[in-house]
Amino acid sequence: MTGHTLLDALLSRPTPAVMGVLNITPDSFSDAGQFLEPRQALAQARRMIAEGADIIDVGAESTRPYGSTAISADEELRRLKPVLPEVIALGVPVSIDSMKADVTDWALRIGAAIANDVWGLQRDPQMARVVAAHRAPVVIMHNRDRADANIDIMQDIATFFTRSLAIAEAAGIARDNIILDPGIGFGKTQDQSMTVLARQQELAVFGLPLLIGASRKRFIDSITPSQPQERLGGSIAAHLLAAQDGARIVRVHDVVETVQALRIMAAIKDRR
């Protein structure tokens, strides 16, 4: 299936596609170490597919804004090689969550379907070239090295996306192979993350599908104090609102609950 055909299939559904998170890391904010062992990771992928995940997003380096440890491409590949081919073989589209072009290139070569770059083609100068060479869909996420409460976060996102899209065009990435992600929780204060969710519709100006990943993020704790695993209700609330405002993909840790919520929302709206 080509990138365009894949995205057409994912984005033409009445409810947003659900991207299930599979972290093969010891230091992710929500599920650190739970799926580091290959058998556990594969079992989790199977579980999410059975629960209704449309995409499995596999990452081997934590990108949490605070407390993560950068790793080499060799270490990232060492974690991925026992797991990623097996997940791809399950038959559901797989996205590779990596900011490294070499890792993304390897993953796309062995059958990953989507590149998911948390630095929006702006960190590794070879990333856009790799994505273009594979003609793969790419998630361009907004990010910052640090949060700044004094900036207009929506303007910052718009400026970032404009630059990323220029990089993509120069590399030959087809515009209809691009998904935008405003990066909830990345380089933002908790208040700014909520502002992005509240003003998500402003990003429609780019004319591209949006991915929203609010799952278990810290802004929920700022409203209702809770640990990451206790933020299911807040995650679902944010994703339902994002879906109503036009998000076409939601990235989640809790697949079955999110799928149920989206389907019930759609069923009720159909009766109006």
Q: What is the pLDDT of residues 4-15, one digit of tens each?
A: 788 898 998 899
pLDDT over 60 (residue 1): yes
Q: Which member of 188, 217, 231, 248 is catalytic?
A: 217
Give the start-to-end residue ranges of the domains of the chain. 3-270
Percentage of the chain lying above the pLDDT 90 cut: 88
| C-alpha–C-alpha distance, residues 16 and 10, integer Å | 8
| pLDDT band for position 229 (cuts 50, 70, 90) | very high
81 tagged catalytic: no
pLDDT digits (tens, 9 = 90+) for 86-120: 999 999 999 999 999 999 999 999 999 999 999 99
35-62 mean pLDDT? 94
Higher pLDDT, 63 or 139: 139
Q: Which member of 79, 129, 188, 251 is catalytic?
A: 251
| pLDDT band for position 238 (cuts 50, 70, 90) | very high
What pLDDT is recorded for position 64? 66
Q: Supply the pTM of this predicted model.
A: 0.94
253-271 mean pLDDT? 97
163 tagged catalytic: no
The fold of the 3-270 domain, in CATH, is TIM Barrel (3.20.20)
